[in-house]
Chains A and B, each alone.
Chain A
Amino acid sequence: MNTAFWYASRATGIVALLLLTAVLVLGILVNRQGRLPGLPRFAVTDLHRNLSLLSVAFIVVHVLTAVLDTYVHIPLASAVVPFASGYERLWLGLGAISLDIMLAMIVTSLLRGRLNRILWRAVHLLAYASWPVAFAHSIGSSKDLQQGWMLGLAVACAMIVAAAVIWRLAHAARQVPRARRVAAIFAQHRTGQVTR
């Protein structure tokens, strides 16, 4: 039973990293109003939201199984309080920091209708800090990810995120100012004067 918790914690942690990578990339896609093949734009937003909630579920299981496992002692508080664990103090501390940021993002997103959008946006931008911290936590604390094909997986995640961020910055530089957007779209659709 004890080893079951340990394996479950390692497995859910790795799945959570993959999910968070997808969530970050989808978030960038939502921000730039990009699309996925075969999906309308709003579905990209929905996918971003639903995958982020799914990753929370995986992180909850990841944390609880690590705490319940008795092979190493990890206090429950260290899930949210950084550097409170004697075991792997640095790497678990990073995990706690990234979880705290994610919780702040989720709470502000659930309250988004009631919040100032500038505040929501400021908190949401912390995603760019949360993902690298979570990634460092994963690499540092997981022997699985440090070798073999799983290392390849981790490198692939990092490269995908880096590419998405570069794409976002390049795209933002080419952004049409809001006031000119309608005219720009009109130009694409042959909506000249109505003629007969």
Chain B
Amino acid sequence: MTTALNTPVRLLPAAPEDLRAHLARYGPAPYRNQPGALIADVEASGLTGRGGAAFPVHRKLAAVARAGVRQGRTVVVANGAESEPASHKDELLLQFAPNLVLDGLQLAVEAVGATEAHLYLHRAPGPQILRALAERAARGLDRLAVTITQAPPRFLAGQETAVVNRLGGGPALPTFQPPRVSERGLGGAPTLVQNVETLAHLALIARYGPRWFRAVGTAAEPGSMLTTIYGPDGTAHVREAAIGTPLRALLADGAIDGADVGDGIQAWLVGGYHGTWLPMPGAAERTLDGKSGVLAALPSSRCGLTEAARVTRYLAAESAGQCGPCLNGLPRIAAALAELAGSGHRRQTLDDLKRWSGPQNLVEGRGACHHPDGTVRFVRSALVVFEPEISRHARGICSATDRRPFLPLPPGMPTREEDWT
């Protein structure tokens, strides 16, 4: 299972902390007693969303606060639906520092003048989060009571519009924007959806200020971040590291057993299943950025082409089935990639796949959400990085010596409407 490894210890303590330990370390949440007061600090800190899209947090806060003035009500959602199968950082954060997340949620509630607070989770709430909520309620620490909702186990369940649809009682399906949920979200109210890690950072910025936050990280993307990192041995670790840290350094310092820098690694997957493959040795020089919440170092003993085909099949199966380019395009792309990953393929298949994922393809940018875009990006990088392996497979050879699956995938495919609720 996953363990925590921290370089700058900001978010993740060494073990789960209850409210007593949390208050001893940080003190109570510093409410400003004035809506909007925190937004300037968040802007100065340069905090970006940690849910994968790295969108500037102050812009969402300001948009929701402004729309809330007109409408008289707003909603804040702490998004812990970590539906990316390879990611475990939100799950671990909610276990180890639930009070930091809840502080951030309540501070966001105050900043936008919210009238409703939600916590949206991938699994049933763990004992740490339930205990934290009970203890905080007993001591009257929270501005608003928090409603917990569990997301269906679907890849897209954490997408912003899907979150709002699920909280509204419907299926967790993405819908077209605009209107943005920050203008018209849950029940028509302006809605702030922030990843739970983002809220934890927000709670620290409220306490220690933007200057402290910017002490680590890069100028463009300040601060630290959590990332789930898979070493070449296939084990997952959640690490907190400064943005800008070289990937090489994340595997080094003896943190992951048997991993000498870059030794035996053929490629990195950066950014999870909507991310990109990067070939070695160049990849190790890459630095951590806001979009690398999942990192995987694929060892030379595995077949990257097979891994890419497995993941693509999963992504295609997780299409919500709403938009034509995604519904019709992704299964076709997945089938073509599966053919390449087999032994011997028709020449037409590789040409088709290059066309479907190449520039000006008919899939990207044509869905209600970014699922087709992320999937095509993943496939495009796989075709480049694993090109030699594609040629080998065409001749019936696979270079893998270890044929076990490497990247984690959940079983099953959704076939009923209830699978989204």
Contact = CB atoms under 8 A, between A and B. Distances in A.
Interface string B261-303: 0000000000000000000000000000000000000000001
A195 interface: yes
Contact of A182 (B325, B327, B338, B362): B327
B11 interface: no
A114 interface: yes
A38 interface: no
A40 interface: yes
B74 interface: no
B347 interface: no
A182 B322 CA distance: 9
A189 B332 contact: yes
A155 to B, nearest CB: 34
Interface residues of B, number: 37
| 4 interchain residue pairs of minimum CB distance | A181-B321, A189-B335, A191-B335, A179-B417
B247 interface: no
Interface of B: 176, 178-179, 303, 306, 309-310, 313, 316-317, 319-322, 324-325, 327-328, 331-332, 334-335, 338, 341-343, 362, 366, 398, 403, 413-417, 419-420
B414 A186 contact: no
A41 B325 CA distance: 9
A123 B415 CA distance: 32
Given A178-B321, A179-B420, A191 B313 contact: yes
Given A189-B335, A194-B338, A179 B415 contact: yes
A122 interface: no
How many residues of A sit at the interface, in one of the four size bands? 20 to 34
A196 B343 contact: yes
B110 to A, nearest CB: 30
B413 A186 contact: yes
Contacts of A194: 306, 309-310, 313, 338, 341-342
A33 to B, nearest CB: 6
A195 B319 CA distance: 22
A128 B71 CA distance: 37
Contacts of B416: 179-180
Contacts of A195: 338, 341-342
